[in-house]
Structure 1
Amino acid sequence: MQKNVREIAVIMQDKEKEYKICEKLRRQPELRDLKILCREQLQSLGPSETFNKRLKRLQPLAGRVLLTDLQDTELPEVVKNIPSIGYGFDYRGSAKYVVENTDSIDKMYLETVYCRYYRFPLEIAETDRLILREMQLADLDSLYEVYDTLRDCPYIEPLYERAEEEEFTRQYIKNMYGFFEHGLWLVIRKEDNKVIGRAGIENREIDGELQKELGYLIGKPWQGMGYAAEACLAILDYVKERELCSHLFLCCHQKNIPSISLAQKLGFTVYAEDIDGMNLYIYKSNA
């Protein structure tokens, strides 16, 4: 998993509150390898002007995320222009991520804040053989290669022409990853960093409501090796850990026997059959 974040800067209006939050974060086992810095420790780093010049030169490698209940104009120079998390019900700053307490702050949450700020692709999961991460424009060549291996598959819709696909990808990154915090992710083989497919969570309207749907595809040369199951199991674990939803749907063609078998192997059960030649399956993540 990504390790961009190395420090959490905690700055609160009330110093006693700041100290308690720092101590609570330091006690979280998952965050023990991160530096938790309060205002006094930040000020000891040296003159703010010198630090800011160094920070600007190093960004986005600084590895710092700010947790604060202050408004933007109240922040010291040493923590301006870095990824931020607002704290508390009455937070009035510009941070895009806000928490009520520290319970939801773990490494995945910090990496999400950091990557969204710097527009990095976020790694979602890692298995023995695979990495699942968000797509970026630079991945399109690899994606076209994958889809080219599936050009004879009747169940896979082709990508758009290049210019249209690039614009679609820009909007997808902004709206699916940036707003919904999920989408189709790249399936990357670790041994050679090769993009071999896509898998993830899409939105689909079912019975008049917006639901979450598991989707996946693996390029033809890499099928039959268990990669689809490995990727999908990692996604199901991710859904449970992040408590994204109570259930997931999966839609596949009635004649797509491998996908039907995989759905059953993953624990999906039939929800509806023969809807324009498609079967709909459901998985209860809280079961």
Structure 2
Amino acid sequence: MTQEYTVWIGKTAYPVVVSDERKALLAAKAAGRAFVGLIHMEEHGGGSQEDDIWDAEYLATPDAICPEYLERIVLRHIGLPWIITETDRLIIREFTVEDIAGMPEEPDAWFTQEERDADQIFYDTEKLKAYIKGQYRFYEYGIWALVRKTDGRIIGKAGLSNAKKRDFARASAPEEQLGKVAETGNDFEPKSRVDSENDFPDANGMEDREFLELGYHVFHPYRRQGYAEEACRAILAYARDELDCPVCACVAGENTASVQLLRKLQVKYYLSGK
């Protein structure tokens, strides 16, 4: 089965081919069109039929095909960022290479060298290109730009990343530093199993469930205006509704403002050491 849809981005129409036929997908690829491989899990069990269209960049079941999904496929195809969500004052979207020119550098904003090194992704063209291609395309989440609606200015960044167990492993007295269980869907049960290397309870507190780590950084001129809370609440809702994944955080003990915010958001967190 092959179907062709039209998606409008602004005033431009883009065709999208959706098919479970390899020949049709290869033709769409050769023509430079956006395309999606259609899989029928109930009928085929995800076996040989998936193998036949394995090189389609996107695979979806029929019930996943909707205007919003196809729009995101086209945006990815033409190199435009996804808008993740919006709040009253902010658009939360993926970063683009063009954003680098307007990014203020704040070398004193980080508590560890690792944080400083990771932040360089958003100031280096090649690193950001690799991040967009690897993180956004593969995981469909990451650290996003916080864009103020009134003037289009990027006032900070926030988002979700794969939690690093080593960050939690160096936490001190973690059993005393857990924030409350979030009402936004971060409803995981604490566990008693201990990390044998560090003698700390396992960082996620969720048996073997996957989880994501919340992070944010609002630039100095825009702090104390409620942007961090506004963005984080929207991101937590996105993690709950779209990713169906619990969220926690790791924060430096001296970062008292972030500790207070995490408690207010009711996100479980651990304090990291330097």
Give TM-score scaled by structure 2 length: 0.68
CA shift, 1:112, in A, is 2.4
| 3-state SS of paired residue (1:124) | strand
Match of 1:200 among 159, 162, 168: 159
- In 2, the alpha carbon distance for the partners of 1:111 and 1:161 equals 27
CA shift, 1:242, in A, is 1.1
Q: Give the equivalent residue in structure 1 for 2:32.
A: 81
CA shift, 1:59, in A, is 11
CA shift, 1:75, in A, is 7.8
- In 1, the alpha carbon distance for the partners of 2:121 and 2:226 equals 31
- What is the correspondence of 1:267-286 to structure 2 with a 5 Å cutoff? 267-270=266-269, 272-273=270-271, 275-276=272-273
- In 2, the alpha carbon distance for the partners of 1:178 and 1:95 equals 13
Aligned length: 217
Which string of whole-angstrom CA distances, capped at 9 and with x for unpartnered residues, describes residues 258-279 of structure 1? 1111111212134x44x425xx
- What is the correspondence of 1:146-161 to structure 2 with a 5 Å cutoff? 147=105, 150-155=106-111, 157=116, 159-160=119-120
Q: Give the equivalent residue in structure 2 for 1:128.
A: 88
Which string of whole-angstrom CA distances, capped at 9 and with x for unpartnered residues, describes residues 79-137 of structure 1? 953211221242534432112331x2344422321122222111111111100111111
- In 2, the alpha carbon distance for the partners of 1:199 and 1:128 equals 16
Amino acid at match of 1:235: I
**Structure whose alpha-carbon radius of gyration is higher:** 1
Q: Which ranges in structure 2 are unaligned for 5 or more consecutive residues?
A: 41-48, 166-201
- In 1, the alpha carbon distance for the partners of 2:82 and 2:121 equals 26
Q: Which ranges in structure 1 are unaligned for 5 or more consecutive residues?
A: 1-11, 23-33, 37-57, 278-287
| 3-state SS of paired residue (1:250) | strand
- What is the correspondence of 1:53-72 to structure 2 with a 5 Å cutoff? 61-72=12-23
- In 1, the alpha carbon distance for the partners of 2:81 and 2:25 equals 31
Which deviates the most, 221-230 or 209-218?
209-218
Amino acid at match of 2:227: Y
- Do residues 173 (structure 1) and 132 (structure 2) align? yes
Amino acid at match of 2:17: L
Cα–Cα, structure 1 residues 75 and 198, in superposed 2: closer, same or farther, change >3 Å? closer
Q: CA RMSD in A?
A: 3.3
CA shift, 1:73, in A, is 4.8
Cα–Cα, structure 1 residues 108 and 254, in superposed 2: closer, same or farther, change >3 Å? farther
- In 2, the alpha carbon distance for the partners of 1:76 and 1:269 equals 49
CA shift, 1:239, in A, is 1.1
Q: Is the 8 A contact 1:111 1:122 kept in 2?
A: no
- Do residues 96 (structure 1) and 95 (structure 2) align? no
- In 1, the alpha carbon distance for the partners of 2:109 and 2:66 equals 41
Higher RCO (CA-CA < 8 Å; seq separation 6+): 2
Q: Give the equivalent residue in structure 2 for 1:51.
A: none
Cα–Cα, structure 1 residues 61 and 154, in superposed 2: closer, same or farther, change >3 Å? same
Cα–Cα, structure 1 residues 211 and 241, in superposed 2: closer, same or farther, change >3 Å? closer
Amino acid at match of 1:253: A
Q: Is the 8 A contact 1:130 1:187 kept in 2?
A: yes
Q: Is the 8 A contact 2:92 2:144 kept in 1?
A: yes
- Do residues 186 (structure 1) and 145 (structure 2) align? yes
Q: Is the 8 A contact 1:205 1:211 kept in 2?
A: no
- In 2, the alpha carbon distance for the partners of 1:74 and 1:194 equals 39
Give TM-score scaled by structure 1 length: 0.65
Identical-pair percentage: 30
- In 2, the alpha carbon distance for the partners of 1:60 and 1:118 equals 14
Q: Give the equivalent residue in structure 2 for 1:119.
A: 79
